[in-house]
Amino acid sequence: MKAITRTQYGNADVLQIKDLAQPIPKDNEALVRVHSTTVNRTDCGILTGKPFLIRFFTGLRKPSSPIPGTDFAGEIAAIGKAVKDFKVGDKVWGLNDEGLGSHAEYMTIKADKIVSIPDNFSYDEVVACAEGAHYAYNFINKVTLNSGDKVLVNGATGAIGSAALQILKSMGVYVTAVGNTKNMELIKSLGADKVYNYEKEDFTEIDNEKYHFVFDAAGKSSFGKCKKLLLAKGAYISSELGPNNENLYLPLITRLKGNKRVIFPIPTNCKRSLLYIKNLIEKGQFRAVIDRHYTPEQIKEAYEYVQSGQKTGNVILNF
């Protein structure tokens, strides 16, 4: 099978395409013919081994899995003898943010981590509703929100931000979204109630709304800047560690002060996220945001584009 491989941490230059033997599923696993996967920011972290923290999950000195890739959508090609819930030919998708080896034509995965694809949706559509949506769902879950509450999403055009915007709107939340000029129409079409263009204005200077939650999905702002926009007891979450890794220790300090707080969320349970998103997809409340498609031969360009931090939504890799 054709697979993307690497033997060390580094930039896209360490990636190579190789012909490898197809993996064989264990009793509780399925062999999946991968049709679509994404190149996402988690893949970039696993590629470079940065931040260092990530290596405790993916291999300290070198990557424990030679094949990168964290999500997939495809067709079951074989099953282990203990697998009862799926059969050969089923269309499935999945995600594991510690790595799955999905940047290959075939991969194996435990059957209890797989979700069936909703009827009438393509591999590309569902795979673009996985990684960013998982983070967005987990982060939103850390805050208690009711219909009519107000949330600001900074970076509402990324994989996480575009998913967060849609999840929040499905909950009946009022959302202010921040993006750039080229994506103003996209953000409005995803349901934003109010929009700021970060290329023209600084929302932290001009917005006079007060929010239950500020979600910095791009990690480009900071608690210090956003604090004045929060209601008492309001929460700030960033997808990045922030200046001087402050988002690691601010949760403790702000909790002791007992007012506006920073939360450092650790996402868990990818399957639960996919099932939640699948339900929204089926109800027409969540849709894929796809930027570009790449082939395996273009893998370096794909990673370099995603590493630039300029993608809109998701970048698809088709095998």
Ligand X SMILES: NC(=O)c1ccc[n+]([C@@H]2O[C@H](COP(=O)([O-])OP(=O)(O)OC[C@H]3O[C@@H](n4cnc5c(N)ncnc54)[C@H](OP(=O)(O)O)[C@@H]3O)[C@@H](O)[C@H]2O)c1
Residues in contact with ligand X by the rule CB under 6 A: 40-42, 45, 132, 135, 154-155, 157-161, 178-180, 183, 198, 217-220, 239-240, 309-312
Peptide bond preceding 296 in cis form (omega within 30 of 0)? no
Q: Six-digit token pair at 57?
A: 């999950």
Q: Are strands 29-39 and 314-318 parallel, antiparallel or unpaired?
A: antiparallel
CA dihedral (188, 190, 194, 200) positive or negative: negative
Q: How far is the CB of 158 from ligand X (least distance, A)?
A: 3
Q: How far is the CB of 129 from ligand X (least distance, A)?
A: 13
Identity of the residue, 122 or 180, whose beta carbon is nearer to ligand X in the bound complex: 180
Give the separation between CA 313 and CA 135, rounded to whole angstroms.
13
Identity of the residue, 106 or 236, whose beta carbon is nearer to ligand X in the bound complex: 236
**Which residue, judged by CB position, is nearest to ligand X in the bound state?**
158
Q: How far is the CB of 212 from ligand X (least distance, A)?
A: 20
Q: How far is the CB of 183 from ligand X (least distance, A)?
A: 6
Identity of the residue, 148 or 224, whose beta carbon is nearer to ligand X in the bound complex: 224
Identity of the residue, 111 or 163, whose beta carbon is nearer to ligand X in the bound complex: 163
Query: CA-CA distances (angstroms) from residue 206 to 80, 87, 182, 229?
Result: 58, 55, 21, 10
Q: How far is the CB of 301 from ligand X (least distance, A)?
A: 15
Identity of the residue, 55 or 91, whose beta carbon is nearer to ligand X in the bound complex: 55
> DSSP 3-state helix, strand, coil percentages of the chain (rounded to 5)?
35, 25, 40
